[in-house]
């Protein structure tokens, strides 16, 4: 009779030793604050900012997306921007707005992809350029934060350290690009 409970008790003790600690929670990501910081990166510098004439349908969709974003209807805002992109797929400002909508939806890979596409098709200087690279830097910084808080087995430490170091370099490179987007006016004599 005594031994009937000994085997299940020993088995449960053995299984308890196999249980690992739950993974650390992913660092909090405040998308709204990130988007505000990205938009602020474009402000505050006096420089030439050329804006193309826009198709009225695209402009209406952009305004609709802005109104929806203010109501925190981020999916609907992104859908309006997708409709605008169907009309004018290569508009760098529109692609940047879509990148920011992706951030608000916490789709960081999409945000980086849209921002890169916007940079590739747009001006390589100015406020919009700073927003592109600020978006990329924000995404990469979040990846770095996640990597730093992810538990790693001892045998994977070297690879994890190398990954963290490379991601840190990627963040620094994106931040350097933000600064490179600002071109000061030539001195006047």
Q: Compute how many other C-beta atoms are within 10 angstroms of the C-beta atom of residue 68.
A: 19
The answer to whether residue 22 is domain-embedded is no
CATH number at residue 168: 1.25.40.10
Query: What is the total count of domains within the chain?
Result: 1
Tell which residue, 128, 133, 127, has the closest CA to residue 111. Answer: 133
The answer to whether residue 3 is domain-embedded is no
Residue 15 pLDDT level (bands cut at 50, 70, 90): very low
Say what the pLDDT of residue 137 is.
Answer: 97
Q: Range with the lowest mean pLDDT among 3-17, 44-58, 134-148? A: 3-17
Tell which residue, 131, 54, 127, has the closest CA to residue 96. Answer: 131
End-to-end CA distance of the chain: 102
Which 3 state secondary structure label does DSSP give 153?
Answer: coil
Has residue 3 got a pLDDT over 70?
A: no
The answer to whether residue 21 is domain-embedded is no
Say what the pLDDT of residue 17 is.
Answer: 45
Distances (CA, A) of 135 to 3, 107, 170, 178, 184: 64, 12, 13, 10, 22
Domain of 123, in residue numbers: 27-44+55-180
The answer to whether residue 65 is domain-embedded is yes
The answer to whether residue 122 is domain-embedded is yes
Write down the mean pLDDT value for the chain. 85
pTM of the model: 0.81
Tell which residue, 20, 29, 28, 15, has the closest CA to residue 151. Answer: 20
Has residue 22 got a pLDDT over 70?
A: no
Say what the pLDDT of residue 186 is.
Answer: 67
| Most confidently predicted of 70-74, 158-162, 183-187 | 70-74
Residue 146 pLDDT level (bands cut at 50, 70, 90): very high
The number of residues in the chain equals 189
Has residue 78 got a pLDDT over 50?
A: yes
Exposure string (b/e) for 76-113, b if CB count within 10 Å is 16 or more? bbbbbbeebbeebeebbbbbbbbbbbbbbeebbebbbb
The answer to whether residue 188 is domain-embedded is no
What 8-state DSSP symbol labels residue 126?
S
Mean pLDDT of 144-157: 89
Which is higher by pLDDT, 162 or 6? 162
Q: What is the pLDDT of residues 92-113, one digit of tens each?
A: 999 999 999 999 999 999 999 9
The answer to whether residue 20 is domain-embedded is no
Mean pLDDT of 61-69: 97
The answer to whether residue 17 is domain-embedded is no
């Amino acid at each position: 009779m005594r031994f009937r409970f000994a085997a299940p008790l020993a088995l449960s003790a053995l299984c308890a030793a196999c249980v690992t600690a739950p993974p650390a929670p992913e660092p909090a990501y405040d998308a709204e604050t990130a988007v505000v910081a990205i938009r602020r990166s474009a402000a505050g510098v006096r420089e030439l900012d050329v804006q193309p004439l826009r198709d009225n349908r695209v402009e209406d969709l952009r305004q609709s997306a802005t109104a929806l974003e203010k109501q925190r209807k981020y999916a609907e805002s992104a859908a309006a921007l997708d409709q605008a992109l169907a009309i004018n797929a290569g508009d760098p400002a529109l692609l940047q707005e879509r990148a920011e909508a992706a951030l608000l939806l916490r789709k960081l890979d999409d945000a980086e992809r849209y921002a890169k596409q916007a940079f590739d098709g747009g001006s390589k200087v100015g406020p919009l350029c700073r927003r592109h690279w600020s978006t990329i830097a924000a995404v990469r910084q979040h990846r770095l934060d996640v990597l730093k808080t992810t538990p790693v087995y001892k045998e994977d430490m070297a690879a994890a350290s190398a990954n963290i170091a490379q991601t840190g370099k990627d963040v620094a490179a994106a931040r350097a690009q933000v600064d490179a987007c600002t071109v000061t006016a030539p001195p006047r004599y």
